[in-house]
Structure 1
Amino acid sequence: MHKSSRLMLLLACAALTSQVALAKLPPLSEEAQAKAAEAAAKAAWSSKVAAYQLCVAQDRVASTYRAKRMMAGAEVKPPVETPPCTDPGPFAAAPNLEKAGAHSAPGPTPAAPAAASASAPKS
């Protein structure tokens, strides 16, 4: 009987804690959302920097290998063409357009009237 009461107590505790674990979190504030967006942008930039550094290192290793093979008098085939390494530049956080007041004006876009007049029959 002692073991079954322990089991019941354990199940009751598990049921109560699962209620807390499944509770819905409140939505993020605008400040928290902006912070998360900036963190995501910085992570994306970091991965671009890592890819650039890997590309540069691979080019350096390949050129060293080719130079050593040429010095040894071995036959060296022409290198395979690859896209050039592109430096992502320094990290620049995207400006917050909402706070800067850079909202687009409501209404039709400038291209819409030109498209409408082009389709109108000419007399």
Structure 2
Amino acid sequence: MTFLARKTLVALCATCVCTLASAKLPPPTPEAAAKAAEAAAKSAWAGKVDNFKLCLSQDKVAAHYRKTTPSAKPATAAGTGCTDPGPFAYTPPVAKPIEAAGAHSPPGTASSPPNTQVPQAPAAAGAASAPKS
């Protein structure tokens, strides 16, 4: 194989891989969406817990520094800024009925009358095409 043929083959293979990778996935099922929402909430809570633990350890280090260094500034009277996120609690959102969610019924259902109007020809077009006497 020549260099140009190899280069063309590699470019073709890369194009095929990119095309397959950009395929659209089907929408998730309601159960999968609920599970993903709960996992996201748990992940956010874990981040808050990690930040709380980091804040406590920073306060401990700062207290030790103030205790062992005579030239250190004293701690402020405001106290610690650490807030405990508490235990993990997740309440799934309540699903709205389809009509309350803002969705509309498709045309031709019992809730909407059928369209019985016949389109009218414009009057100006009929007058312009009429021969003058």
Question: When the two structures are superposed, what TM-score results if normalisation uses the length of structure 1?
Answer: 0.61
- Give the distance between the partners of 2:11 and 2:86, measured in 1 at CA: 56
Taking every aligned residue pair, what percent have the same amino acid on both sides?
46
Change (3 A) 1:13 1:97: same
Structure 2, unmatched stretches of 5+, are 101-133
Offset from partner CA, 1:51-90 (integer Å, 9 cap, x none) = 1111111111122222223xxxx35532234653111111
- Give the distance between the partners of 1:68 and 1:45, measured in 2 at CA: 35
- Give the distance between the partners of 1:91 and 1:44, measured in 2 at CA: 10
What does 1:15-34 align with in structure 2 at a 5 Å threshold?
A: 15-34=15-34
Structure 1, unmatched stretches of 5+, are 107-123
Secondary structure in structure 2 of the residue aligned to 1:97: coil
Q: CA RMSD in A?
A: 2.7
Question: When the two structures are superposed, what TM-score results if normalisation uses the length of structure 2?
Answer: 0.58
User: Which deviates the most, 21-30 or 8-17?
Assistant: 8-17
Q: Which has the higher contact order (CA 8 A, sep 6+)?
A: 1
Q: Rg: which structure is higher?
A: 2
Secondary structure in structure 2 of the residue aligned to 1:26: coil
Matched, 1:9 2:9: yes
Higher helix share: 1
